[in-house]
A and B are shown apart, each in its own frame.
Chain A
């Protein structure tokens, strides 16, 4: 029965990137530094074959391979070293990776800085290696450098490197974003399925139907009300299908149906108090986030008690954060409970979605023993109007 109901529902939208491709590549097959080093070495080797060096405007001197090699090293390896720095600076720029124009504008002054740095590195390398001096590539002072062909050629190389860095960064950011969207879709599907599974949670479903069955003759109106509430529960979860966030008001309507049905089952053994500030009713909350918390409270808290259980659901705003709290007075957390290790599927999914929606550090989810007895679950995230 369970399987056929799930099949009848609309399938979740398939993520843009196939699930198989969602792997965070932590280490590439070839280390990046090796690729960079290899690339510049190729250039050095290519330049070592030139066989002659310019000593004057139109004068050329033949040189040995070794000397040509040294000259090429002095000329190109500084660029190689700086390309790493340029890449790093590009990544750290306080501009969004897809804001290309501001990025290019920032690179203009940077090009000057790097090119000047290059000339000093080049000079130093030439001296160190006692490579033949190519006057076209070095000037005595900065000003001379500025007016030389050197400078213009130097910036040309800089821009070539910088453009590659920008393109790489843009590309990698694009991929990251695709992955995050796909992740979010997947998590939302899982949350929906999990919530549906909990409405289809066999105990909840069959016992609710049994309760309805009990009232059918003796209190038909009550029975029909419960049938309507169960129908609403299923309908609301289908309607929320593609939305990541909904107004708190609607999420509460959803949870309320669930609570009403549970109250009939647990008759005098359950008391649910909902305390929500009217002003936060329009806040945007992740879909399917409250019901699993209440369900947990009932499952691990109240249903384990033979006496009356109390569950409290509160939501309030504090500054720019929205707080949601669910407390129960059940037997409490097992000894040695630690959220990291013992987090269940429902809470784990909730936390993952909060991470994706709001970002690391922008939300919090805590499970702790309540004041006197029972458990308290606190969820906090940025307050946003829906």
Chain B
């Protein structure tokens, strides 16, 4: 592993973008440029033939885009990947949720240096499997964003090498837990890497409303609201769970109800 160079593949449909990355990579002494591809199909082809250690993958490409490519690859076919995008709000949200490394176009030499630095660490640790899971999860989530409304329809959860899908409609309520959140769905609670705020931005605001600094609720699960003292309320869900609606978020609920409470 030590003296071997990092074999890298660059995939982007726009020639200047390929040029940019190629030029930067050629300056790195421990990197060997293993090839380039100009679209998704070509990328799959070259990837399987060359088996690079590192992949720079553009998201927006005609016909088969970056996520399409990721979906088509088996976990052991996925190299360490840095995704590249000009502008894709939903992709970036998915990347953040699954700790994917990505580059935003146009990027400076410095930003590239940081990214390749991180990639080196990944390659050295040979922890490819964990990243492969994250990549697949991010791809699945991005693809589950409803094309018309732009809202997330499905969440991807990872645990112990297993990927599970959770439909957004199945979530009863969301609870903050440090850097993560718990997604309560029926009797289960699932850990998901995100903040309450970040997740709510991706969800339909009519379906999920924030009730507390650390909680948000699926509106279809609300059974009743009871007044407490000091302007707080108790929210009771259909399954009996009792939550507090804090004063600070009362206006959120009023906005959803379209009437004062």
- CB pair A303–B62 under 8 Å, yes or no, is yes
Query: Chain B residues with Cβ under 8 A from A305's Cβ?
Result: 62
| B141 CB–A CB distance under 8 Å | no
| Nearest CB on B from A63, distance (A) | 66
- CB pair B19–A218 under 8 Å, yes or no, is yes
- CB pair B16–A211 under 8 Å, yes or no, is yes
- CB pair B62–A306 under 8 Å, yes or no, is yes
| B20 CB–A CB distance under 8 Å | yes
> Bound complex: CA of A218 vs CA of B21, how far in Å?
13
Given A206-B86, A212-B106, A218-B23, is A306 in contact with B63 using a C-beta cutoff of 8 Å?
Answer: yes
Instruction: Mark B44-64 against chain A: 1 for CB-CB distance below 8 A, else 0.
Output: 000000000000000010110
- CB pair A217–B14 under 8 Å, yes or no, is no
| Nearest CB on A from B91, distance (A) | 12
| Nearest CB on B from A28, distance (A) | 32
| A82 CB–B CB distance under 8 Å | no
Q: Which residues in chain B, 96-120, are within 8 Å of chain A measured between CB atoms?
A: 104-108
Closest to A309 in B: B62
| Nearest CB on B from A331, distance (A) | 10
- CB pair B16–A215 under 8 Å, yes or no, is yes
| A210 CB–B CB distance under 8 Å | yes
Q: Which residues in chain B, 1-42, are within 8 Å of chain A measured between CB atoms?
A: 13-17, 19-20, 23, 38-39, 41
| A265 CB–B CB distance under 8 Å | yes
Query: Chain B residues with Cβ under 8 A from A202's Cβ?
Result: 86-87
Instruction: Mark A198-221 against chain B: 1 for CB-CB distance below 8 A, else 0.
Output: 000011001101111111011000
Given A202-B87, A212-B106, A306-B39, is A207 in contact with B17 using a C-beta cutoff of 8 Å?
Answer: yes
Q: Which residues in chain A, 217-271, are within 8 Å of chain B measured between CB atoms?
A: 217-218, 264-269
Pick from B15, B63, B108 the residue with the most CB of A within 10 Å: B15
| Nearest CB on A from B62, distance (A) | 5
> Bound complex: CA of A267 vs CA of B87, how far in Å?
20
Instruction: Mark A276-294 against chain B: 1 for CB-CB distance below 8 A, else 0.
Output: 0000000000000000000
- CB pair B13–A264 under 8 Å, yes or no, is no
- CB pair B87–A210 under 8 Å, yes or no, is no
- CB pair B20–A306 under 8 Å, yes or no, is no
Instruction: Mark B62-84 against chain A: 1 for CB-CB distance below 8 A, else 0.
Output: 11000000000000000000000
Given A212-B106, A265-B14, A303-B62, is A203 in contact with B86 using a C-beta cutoff of 8 Å?
Answer: yes
Query: Chain A residues with Cβ under 8 A from B41's Cβ?
Result: 306
> Bound complex: CA of A209 vs CA of B104, how far in Å?
11
- CB pair B106–A213 under 8 Å, yes or no, is yes
Query: Chain A residues with Cβ under 8 A from B104's Cβ?
Result: 206
| A304 CB–B CB distance under 8 Å | yes
Summarize A's interface: helix, strand, loop or mixed. Answer: helix
| Nearest CB on B from A308, distance (A) | 12
Contact of B16 among A217, A264, A303 (CB under 8 A): A264
Q: Give the total of B residues in contact with A, Cβ under 8 Å.
A: 21
> Bound complex: CA of A306 vs CA of B23, how far in Å?
23
- CB pair A268–B105 under 8 Å, yes or no, is no
> Bound complex: CA of A267 vs CA of B16, how far in Å?
8
- CB pair B17–A210 under 8 Å, yes or no, is yes
> Bound complex: CA of A269 vs CA of B213, how far in Å?
50
Closest to B39 in A: A306
Query: Chain B residues with Cβ under 8 A from A306's Cβ?
Result: 13, 38-39, 41, 62-63
Given A211-B14, A306-B38, is A203 in contact with B106 using a C-beta cutoff of 8 Å?
Answer: no
> Bound complex: CA of A3 vs CA of B62, how far in Å?
28
Closest to B21 in A: A214
- CB pair B86–A214 under 8 Å, yes or no, is no
Contact of A206 among B15, B23, B87 (CB under 8 A): B87
- CB pair B16–A203 under 8 Å, yes or no, is no
Query: Chain B residues with Cβ under 8 A from A215's Cβ?
Result: 16, 19
Query: Chain B residues with Cβ under 8 A from A304's Cβ?
Result: 62-63
| Nearest CB on A from B239, distance (A) | 42
- CB pair A210–B106 under 8 Å, yes or no, is yes
Closest 6 pairs between A and B when the two form their complex, measured CB to CB: A202-B87, A211-B16, A267-B15, A214-B20, A206-B86, A210-B106
A-to-B contact residues, CB < 8 Å: 202-203, 206-207, 209-215, 217-218, 264-269, 303-306
Cross-chain pairs A/B with CB under 8 angstroms, 22 sampled: A203-B60, A203-B87, A206-B87, A206-B104, A209-B105, A210-B16, A210-B17, A210-B20, A210-B106, A212-B106, A213-B108, A215-B16, A215-B19, A218-B19, A264-B16, A265-B15, A265-B16, A267-B14, A267-B15, A304-B62, A305-B62, A306-B62
Extra 12 A-B pairs, beta carbons < 8 Å, given A211-B16, A214-B16, A218-B23: A202-B86, A206-B87, A210-B17, A210-B107, A211-B14, A211-B17, A213-B20, A213-B107, A214-B20, A265-B16, A269-B13, A306-B62
